[in-house]
Structure 1
């Protein structure tokens, strides 16, 4: 029998919660919460009242986790003329100069003079802003890698920009560091933490106590930065 999927609603703590119910040949009930919301996986013939009872027992945990996801600061851009595009934690906006040149400027200097012949479609905005982000990220990340590699007495390794959905950075066995382009939207100290974290893997390719000692040597106070990073999605 194929997997069965249905949308359901339950009242938890006085709050209506929508969730996706997925029935399959699994033998137990599983709960997952992410940016898409609550997803329940259950055996094919589990009665709905039984599933609802399980959710009621987990009501506190479910509502807490859903709230945490809602409070996460989204880094997914909206490709419109009036959108803010964060750079190093500060909002920037599109500015169109009288001659028709498109630029980005800090929000405090925000001004649009849009000639009628300029048509900024979402596709054109996305292309322009993404090119800008990649240029900013490449320059910034190279500088931060050089600074933190020196702190750890390492040669600056090669790096590349990543478009990963769930990882800020990685370091492979060849010593190449990948950094998510979205990092350029965050405050600089959070970028520094991710850079220090990945460079530390060139010394300790694990997450042992020795690894975290290397991270702390490069980036004192990393625990607060690591926690702050969790508020972004």
Structure 2
């Protein structure tokens, strides 16, 4: 079977293959490795790639059916909170052990909540990133909250860190894992054993966060 894939050359010594959440196959290989050899590596992983590409839970989240009416729940930091629609004018979204919006903003609720989640994401992620960057002895340029439909985070070559605003719906320990994961890429640009050792030193129980994302990632990907 033939696969479409993107090749990324670097000074690394080994080849790695990953399947992103948008089903894109990324092959990271040493500089100078021939296309023929890369194709042989891909073919040797055919069964594994087919399993990844056909993983419905990971790649096909269920559509949202939120109506934004009183009694519905929305997830934030791993917990569900009820929504209350009030008669009085209320600007934006109010959060106090429950979500509150005005009936006058009900028709615009989707945008209001997306903006609220984005603001909370940057508020929570910035101090976590600063803390673990200091622990790891790395520097980054900017933190950006992005519309990343199939990734939780990304580390650019220029040292910018991008985070999916939806990750703020996950428990705090999962948010920490995603931050450490991207910071670790400032040291190791792959998912080698060294990379995971770096992550595990900062977060000994990172597997718990990985498993949570595996089991609940599709919930986060639903906007509302």
Identify the TM-score tier after normalising by the shorter chain: 0.5 to 0.7
Of 84, 102, 106, the match for 1:120 = 106
Of 109, 114, 132, the match for 1:130 = 114
Q: What is the TM-score when the length of structure 1 is the normalising length?
A: 0.60
Q: Does 1:224 align with 2:213?
A: no
Deviations for 1:9-62, whole angstroms, at most 9, x for unmatched residues?
A: xxxxxxxxxxxxxxxxx89xxxxxx9xxxxxxxxxxxxxxxxxxxxxxxxxx9x
| Residue 129 (structure 2) aligns with | 145
Q: What is the distance in 2 between the residues matched to 1:77 and 1:154?
A: 42
Aligned partners of 2:69 and 2:85 also within 8 Å: no
Considering fraction of residues, name the structure with more helix: 2
| Residue 42 (structure 1) aligns with | none
User: Secondary structure of 1:190's partner?
Assistant: helix
Q: Structure 1: which 5+ residue stretches go unaligned?
A: 1-25, 28-33, 35-60
Considering fraction of residues, name the structure with more strand: 1
C-alpha displacement of 1:217: 1.5
| Residue 160 (structure 2) aligns with | 176
Q: How many residues align?
A: 167
Aligned partners of 1:92 and 1:105 also within 8 Å: no
Deviations for 1:64-93, whole angstroms, at most 9, x for unmatched residues?
A: 966x569x9869573522432211112234
Aligned partners of 2:121 and 2:165 also within 8 Å: yes
The 3 A distance-change label for structure 1 pair 74 and 178 is farther
User: Secondary structure of 2:210's partner?
Assistant: helix
| Residue 90 (structure 1) aligns with | 79
Say which structure, 1 or 2, has more relative contact order (CA 8 Å, 6+ apart).
2
Q: What is the distance in 1 between the residues matched to 2:124 and 2:144?
A: 12
Runs of 4+ in 1 over 4 A off after TM superposition: 72-77, 108-112
Q: Structure 2: which 5+ residue stretches go unaligned?
A: 3-20, 22-50, 219-224
| Residue 186 (structure 1) aligns with | 170
C-alpha displacement of 1:185: 0.5
Deviations for 1:92-147, whole angstroms, at most 9, x for unmatched residues?
A: 344455531153335x55678x67xx3621xx001211111111011111111111
